[in-house]
Homo-oligomer: A and B are copies of this chain.
Amino acid sequence: MKRNVCIVVAAATALAVSVGCDPGDEPAPEEIDEQFSSEYEEFRLTAIAGPFEHPWAVQPLGEDRWLVTERPGRLVLVEDGGDQIREIDGLPEVRADGQGGMLDVAVHPEFDEQPWVYLTYSKPEDGGETATALSRGRLQGEALEDVEELFVQNNSFSSGTHYGSRIAWNEDGQLLMSIGDRGDPLQAQQLDDHTGTILRLEADGSVPEDNPFVDDDEALDEIYAYGLRNVQGMVVDPDIGQIWVTDHGPRGGDEINLIEAGENYGWPLVTLGLDYGTEEMPDYAEGRRMEGVVEPVHEFLPTHAPSGLALVGGEQFGAWQGNLLAGGLRAQRIRRVVIDEYDGDYEVFHEEELLLQQIGRIRDVAEGPDGSLYVVNDAENGQLFRIGAP
């Protein structure tokens, strides 16, 4: 499985190319290096590495190194500004099926001293089923070592949908991880099932003593919040610890939620989403609001199909500081979302579309240490892009 190849993708002198915009028209893995204007910032979009087979996540390791997962089951290390791509050995076994496979990648908050790489993926279980799982291993050269499985959800499914699996770190160095509903919506309301939740774990996989349900014998200790459908975007504000997620709903039910300990986000009883066939509220839904269910801070309309989520923290794009950047699959764009407090609640003040139909389906968005933003697109021949200085 080793792919000892170095692919030169982006020459410094690469010319801008025009990219087709038909929704079904995936851009070729070409040398994209193009300048864009937006409402308050200019930026340059540069393809820095590829092709990747359905890349799912990008984790910057510095200004010039990135880890990228490929959904069929690979983790690759991109170096030298994109010129070197090396496949990493020693990964846990994955069953790639439908939306499942090798999914998110994150590194320990003190990666320089503790070079742990965390991976989420669809783990093979009995009877052809899969469960969303979390493992970590130390990155040593081109391999993971001391690999240990930290968590496997307590239920497995034959469906190939809604794995969730996004990872984020909170300000206390604890790991947050999402698990989707695996196509079994009502399970998201069951506290004895990890499906449809956000989990909180210590960096070694143990359960924090103050997790909200540790004293509830009928609930699983790892659960931090529940009632979610398929959270593929999660980011923590490093200053104040707020946990922002994007939950990928059924048609029109895409949400931004602010996650708080022990809360129920309502899926599938409460949703704005519509049945794909009838344009009615789905059968299992009971309304748009419900006592005891936290309302979303925002509902994306039209349908966005949110994937990875970043929070702009750096100085490079000063006008975007504090904004969320929500990747969109079906929508083929990034939505910049300006959220602020008003009358004691968080509300969306503004949204802007970035990269509309420029690079196809957006799968992940992440900020690098220099304030540049990194994006992977969901395609057979996906690429790693930088949104950087113009």
Which A residues form the contact surface with B (CB < 8 A)? Answer: 18, 21-22, 39-40, 251-252, 272, 274, 279, 287-289, 301-303, 319, 335, 338, 342-343, 347-353, 356-357
Whether A350 and B274, one on each chain, are in contact in the complex, defined by CB atoms closer than 8 angstroms, is yes
Question: Nearest chain-B residue to A288 (Cβ)?
Answer: B342
Contacts known (A40-B279, A288-B342, A357-B357); A301 close to B252, Cβ less than 8 A: no
Whether A251 and B301, one on each chain, are in contact in the complex, defined by CB atoms closer than 8 angstroms, is no
Looking at the complex, which one of B302, B343, B349 makes contact with A335 (CB distance below 8 Å)? B302
Return A177 CB to nearest CB of chain B, in Å.
30
Question: Nearest chain-B residue to A350 (Cβ)?
Answer: B252
Return A142 CB to nearest CB of chain B, in Å.
41
Chain B residues within 8 Å of A338, by CB? 279
Question: Nearest chain-B residue to A39 (Cβ)?
Answer: B251
Return A178 CB to nearest CB of chain B, in Å.
25
Chain B residues within 8 Å of A22, by CB? 18
Chain B residues within 8 Å of A357, by CB? 21, 356-357
Looking at the complex, which one of B21, B301, B353 makes contact with A350 (CB distance below 8 Å)? B301
Chain B residues within 8 Å of A335, by CB? 302
Chain B residues within 8 Å of A348, by CB? 301
Q: How far is the CA of A218 from the CA of B343 in the complex (A)?
A: 34
Chain B residues within 8 Å of A40, by CB? 279
- Contacts A/B (CB < 8 Å), 30 sampled: A18-B22, A21-B21, A21-B357, A39-B251, A39-B279, A40-B279, A251-B350, A252-B349, A252-B350, A272-B349, A272-B350, A274-B350, A279-B319, A279-B338, A279-B350, A287-B342, A288-B342, A288-B347, A289-B343, A301-B348, A301-B351, A302-B335, A302-B350, A302-B351, A302-B352, A302-B353, A303-B351, A303-B352, A356-B357, A357-B357
Return A106 CB to nearest CB of chain B, in Å.
29
Q: How far is the CA of A301 from the CA of B333 in the complex (A)?
A: 14
For A279, A342, A357, the residue with the greatest tally of chain B CB atoms inside 10 Å of its CB is A279
Contacts known (A40-B279, A251-B39, A357-B21); A349 close to B303, Cβ less than 8 A: no
Question: Nearest chain-B residue to A349 (Cβ)?
Answer: B272
Chain B residues within 8 Å of A289, by CB? 343
Closest 5 pairs between A and B when the two form their complex, measured CB to CB: A21-B21, A301-B351, A302-B351, A252-B350, A302-B353
Question: Nearest chain-B residue to A20 (Cβ)?
Answer: B21
Return A191 CB to nearest CB of chain B, in Å.
28
Chain B residues within 8 Å of A252, by CB? 349-351
Chain B residues within 8 Å of A342, by CB? 287-288
Known: A279-B350, A288-B342. 20 other contacts (CB 8 A): A21-B21, A21-B357, A39-B251, A39-B279, A251-B350, A252-B349, A252-B351, A272-B349, A274-B350, A279-B319, A279-B338, A287-B342, A288-B347, A289-B343, A301-B348, A301-B351, A302-B335, A302-B350, A302-B353, A303-B351
